Amino acid sequence: MESLVNKIIDSDFNQFISLLPEINSIRVKHKGNNIKLCSIINAKSGKCPENCAFCAQSKHHHTDIHVFPLLKPVEILDRAKLMEEKGAHRFSIVTSGTAIKSKKDKSSILKSVELITEKTSLKCCASLGIIDDDFFKDLKKAGLNAYHHNLETSESFFSNICSTHDYQDDVDTVKRAKDNGLYVCSCGIFGLGENWEHRIELSNTLKELNVDSIPINFLTPIKGTILESAEFITPLECLKIVALFRVLHQDKDIRICGGREFNLGDLQAFLIPSGANGLMIGNYLTTKGRQVEDDLKMIKEMGLQFSEL
């Protein structure tokens, strides 16, 4: 296993292509030919007190994103139904900010979870920041199936990206989600300036936490953020990161989320043989995604199936 990891990291494009049969066989062994599709809604945008260097929603940055308060449950439900029609299996309610604190917002989110659970066949997920056990219990009772909370990067590199909260706060949130019996989705964003040692360190942390799903994001530099001029990652490196996490987390779901269009372009089909068994479809938080129809066409033409099993 260590030998394959080293080969992936050190490979050029032709060498990496020669490794794909071995990497892809790991995906097929554990995940078959099933591709899982998820989607999100930016349910509360902007004014985040955290200073994450990549984030367009941080109040520390000057971006031109649309800022708005928490959407109404019916608005969230309408979006969920639309993405269900387009083929999503999971749907996540995502809010900006360190945490959901007001009773009004908590009540509204619980109602949204109930509606999605009752009115759709979607598995309902949420990404609400750092929350406590009581809210986790309420969310699960309302029908929440999964919780998403990224660590963003490794602990040793985290201070280069964020200084407004401790890395342990994020780790503890993932632990609480697991302790409350939720399917937990956690990883980070690549292309922040981290190196391979940082990436392996993050992988080791996720293994210790025993997360169920590893969502891989690639940085899309956004004007007005600290990393607006970043050029830290290449298409080949993106594919190698996916392969690394498949090899190191063989039985976990590896989902490709934000930044794949910007960073990979026409090479997106290589994400599957590189180890991915899930895609986020539709738009992201503050950036546009690829047309859903194009993703579905790509998956079908590769002879793969859509499944949340």
For residue 31, what pLDDT band results from cuts at 50, 70 and 90? very high
Q: Kindly report which listed range (17-26, 62-71, 207-216) carries the lowest average pLDDT score.
A: 62-71
101 secondary structure, DSSP code: -
Torsion angle of the four alpha carbons 225, 229, 232, 238, in this order, in degrees rounded to the nearest 10? 70
What pLDDT score was predicted for residue 288? 83
- pLDDT higher than 90, residue 2: no
Asked if the structure places residue 308 within a domain, the reply is no
pLDDT, tens digit (0-9, with 9 covering 90-100), for 223-263: 999 999 999 899 999 999 999 999 999 999 999 999 999 99
Q: Extract the tokens encoding 304.
A: 């793969």
Asked if the structure places residue 307 within a domain, the reply is no
Asked if the structure places residue 86 within a domain, the reply is yes
% the chain with pLDDT above 70:
99
Q: Kindly report which listed range (91-100, 110-119, 285-294) carries the lowest average pLDDT score.
A: 285-294
pTM: 0.96
In the numeric block, the tokens 């296993």 are attached to 1
What pLDDT score was predicted for residue 309? 53
Residue 274 structural domain: 2-302
- pLDDT higher than 70, residue 95: yes
Total length of the chain: 309
pLDDT, tens digit (0-9, with 9 covering 90-100), for 118-166: 999 999 999 999 999 999 999 999 999 999 999 999 999 999 999 999 9
- Name the amino acid, one letter, at 99: A
What kind and span of H or E run contains 279?
strand 278-280
- pLDDT higher than 60, residue 83: yes
* Mean pLDDT on 104-123: 98
What pLDDT score was predicted for residue 287? 84
Asked if the structure places residue 56 within a domain, the reply is yes
Checking phi first, is residue 179 left (phi over 0); if not, alpha (psi -120 to 50) or beta?
alpha
Asked if the structure places residue 37 within a domain, the reply is yes
Are 75 and 117 within 8 A, CB to CB? no
As for how many domains the chain has, the answer is 1
Asked if the structure places residue 309 within a domain, the reply is no
Secondary structure (H, E, C), 28-46: HHHHCCEEEEEEEEEEEEC
User: CATH number, domain at 288?
Assistant: 3.20.20.70
